[in-house]
Amino acid sequence: MKPLEERIASQVSRIPRSGIRDFFELVQGRDDVISLGVGEPDFATPWHIREAAIYSMEQGETSYTSNLGLLSLRESISSYVEDLFNVSYDPASEILVTVGVSEALDLVCRALLNPGDEVVYHEPCYVSYCPSIVMAYGKAVAVETKVEDEFVLKAEDVAAKITDNTRMILLNFPTNPTGAVEPVSELKKIADLAIEHDLIVVSDEIYCELLYGGETGMEQGEHTSIASFPGMKERTILLHGFSKAFAMTGFRLGYACAPAVLTEAMMKIHQYSMLCAPIMSQNAAIEALKNGAGPVEEMRRAYAERRNLLLKRFREMGVPCFTPGGAFYAFPDIRKFGLSSKEFAHRLLEEEDVAVVPGTAFGEAGEGSVRCCYATAYDKLEIALDRIAAFVSRL
């Protein structure tokens, strides 16, 4: 019999093991770890949302839904998206409810890419972008963003990577893992590029509610979606979901907003793989959109407070850290200590029991930084920062 390794499809074996998973296994064996290594809120889902899910189950709402998702949820999403992004989508044909944004991204890649089609995306980035493209037989073309530019994606760098085979540009602002926010002027230039080269833009805006405006970050910042620019709605697939702002990661609920033809194509795959997103999550999401604004703002403020503490402490430690405009990550620059991201993270874990994720888990461009998630209880964050200070003072 052929070795089982050889039975694995080639595009799957080509995908390297996730750096996050490697690190997870190291952390798991230790007891006293304070983890800044997570990619999710430390808050439980607001009670009114959990309660709505419980109620819906009590009412016997436990069946399949339309493949696209409950119409009432799509209607709520439509008006929420219109308020937030200033773009209107038809709930009947332009919105697809998915099992998290990750599924939505997978659907986009599988529905739109032919073998060898190129997708330009920016690194450091969320861990699933490159694999999702590769698994759809596409070619992932990374554009490096740099700490010197505050991780802004420069349109000229995107332009340099566009070839005759480029089909899509994949964006994520605010960005996981850097917390970067793209300036509107640069976003506009990227939109112009997409129009000029007739490209589809996929925009993952999962962190868009978590923006830190004003001088101290305590005010809600303003979000601009690339889909809202003239001529962009028809070539943009907007991805959003409930995991981050509503603290609903475990509900696994996201959505794609796109022109009807593209939505239909994604739905074709979704109906045979997922069939539909879980109805209890969909019911919870209806409640989240209806009454969730208050809790979302409260959580955002709590993140803003932690962000202020973290930035101040890094300043005091002499660790350069770019001021993240959104999400709940900081991406301090650790190059001056002469360690690789991996060495830094491993030694910090070994010596001080603090988990941060090596920047390279988010692509080669993440070398020289580590990702610190500040969606961590304030008192724990304080202790973690004390430990980091002790660690860097020894380097």
Partner 1 sequence: MNALLKLLQTNARLSSSELADRLGIDESQVEEKLAVFETDGTVLGYHAVVDRDKTDNRDVSALIEVKLTPEREGGFNRLAERIAKFDQVSNCYLMSGGYDLAVVVEGSDLREVASFVSDKLSTLEGVVSTATHFQLKVYKQNGFLATSAAEPKRLPVTP
Applying CB under 8 A, the residues found at the interface with partner 1 are 18, 20, 23-24, 27-28, 33, 35, 37-40, 42-44, 126-128, 176, 215-218, 301, 304-306, 308-309, 311-312, 355, 357, 378
- Both tokens of 15, joined, read 């995908």
Compare residues 73 and 140 and give the one whose CB is closer to partner 1: 140
| Strands 118-123, 200-204: pairing kind | unpaired
- Among residues 30, 206, 1, the alpha carbon closest in space to that of 103 is found at 206
Q: How far is the CB of 270 from partner 1 (least distance, A)?
A: 22
Determine the Cα angle at 341 with ends 336 and 346, to 5°.
115
Q: How far is the CB of 219 from partner 1 (least distance, A)?
A: 9
Compare residues 222 and 316 and give the one whose CB is closer to partner 1: 316
Instruction: Please say whether the beta carbons of 73 and 244 come within 8 A.
Output: no
DSSP 357: E
Distance, CA of 269 to CA of 219 (rounded, Å): 40
Q: How far is the CB of 280 from partner 1 (least distance, A)?
A: 18
Determine the Cα angle at 242 with ends 237 and 244, to 5°.
105
Q: How far is the CB of 344 from partner 1 (least distance, A)?
A: 15
Helix (H, G, I), strand (E, B) or coil at 43: coil
Q: How far is the CB of 339 from partner 1 (least distance, A)?
A: 19
Helix (H, G, I), strand (E, B) or coil at 371: strand
Compare residues 58 and 379 and give the one whose CB is closer to partner 1: 379
Compare residues 290 and 312 and give the one whose CB is closer to partner 1: 312
Q: How far is the CB of 256 from partner 1 (least distance, A)?
A: 19
Q: How far is the CB of 34 from partner 1 (least distance, A)?
A: 9
Distance, CA of 286 to CA of 291 (rounded, Å): 9
Instruction: Please say whether the beta carbons of 127 and 20 come within 8 A.
Output: yes
- Among residues 37, 12, 13, the alpha carbon closest in space to that of 388 is found at 37
Non-local (6+) Cβ contacts of 375 within 8 A are 38, 40, 41, 42, 43, 303, 306, 328
Compare residues 190 and 381 and give the one whose CB is closer to partner 1: 381
Compare residues 93 and 340 and give the one whose CB is closer to partner 1: 340
Compare residues 35 and 236 and give the one whose CB is closer to partner 1: 35
